């Protein structure tokens, strides 16, 4: 199958991709190893200012991604960032309300990687149905989980990227 005919979520809405990515962020020992890898890659990334899309290829080289997803990463991640930057955000994170959904995503992921201990992440990827409102744009769902109660730091971020509905050309 030609990767040119697969768009957006089809690259990433599969168990192989999700398992590959989640193996870097969960459980805690794997998340800590990823933090250490990113800190060691300081010539490629600054863990304190990194954004969604920058760290994945460092933790999992794109050549090994299933269904050609690595080859399409920059394009598809760029599209997601553009869509999310166009969406106003009203969700606060640590007392601040980032202006856009993209800024919220970036800040949430930085929180996970820069907390001590780091906060684990579980990713999911879904695709809009044609009948969904806003079916032609990326959206995110971020759910914080608290193992020791809401008055304690979170222990997990459930991050879902919802990709646009697309037909294959």
Alpha carbon separation from 135 to 44, 91, 142, 148 (Å, rounded) = 34, 22, 19, 37
CA–CA separation, 79 and 67 (whole Å): 19
Confidence of residue 3 (pLDDT cuts 50, 70, 90): very low
User: Which pTM was predicted?
Assistant: 0.92
CA distances from 91 to 108, 142, 145 (A): 11, 10, 16
Instruction: Classify the C-alpha dihedral 151-24-57-69 as positive or negative.
Output: negative
Nearest-CA neighbor of 138 among 104, 87, 96? 87
Instruction: Give the whole-angstrom CA distance, residue 14 versus residue 18.
Output: 6
Averaged pLDDT, 128-147:
95
Kindly tell me if the per-residue pLDDT of 7 is higher than 50: no
Predicted confidence (pLDDT) at residue 44 exceeds the cutoff of 80:
yes
């Amino acid at each position: 199958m030609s990767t040119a005919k697969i768009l957006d979520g089809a690259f990433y809405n599969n168990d192989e991709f999700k398992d590959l990515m989640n193996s870097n962020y969960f459980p805690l020992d794997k998340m800590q190893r990823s933090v250490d890898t990113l800190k060691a890659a300081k010539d490629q990334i600054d863990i304190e200012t990194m954004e969604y899309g920058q760290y994945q290829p460092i933790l999992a080289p794109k050549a090994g991604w299933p269904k050609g997803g690595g080859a399409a990463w920059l394009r598809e991640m760029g599209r997601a960032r553009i869509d999310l930057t166009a969406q106003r955000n009203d969700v606060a994170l640590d007392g601040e309300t980032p202006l856009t959904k993209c800024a919220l995503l970036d800040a949430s992921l930085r929180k996970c990687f820069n907390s001590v201990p780091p906060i684990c992440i579980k990713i999911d990827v879904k695709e809009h149905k044609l009948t969904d409102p806003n079916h032609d744009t990326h959206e995110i769902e971020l759910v914080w989980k608290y193992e020791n109660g809401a008055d304690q730091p979170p222990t997990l971020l459930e991050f879902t990227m919802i990709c646009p509905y697309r037909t294959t050309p």
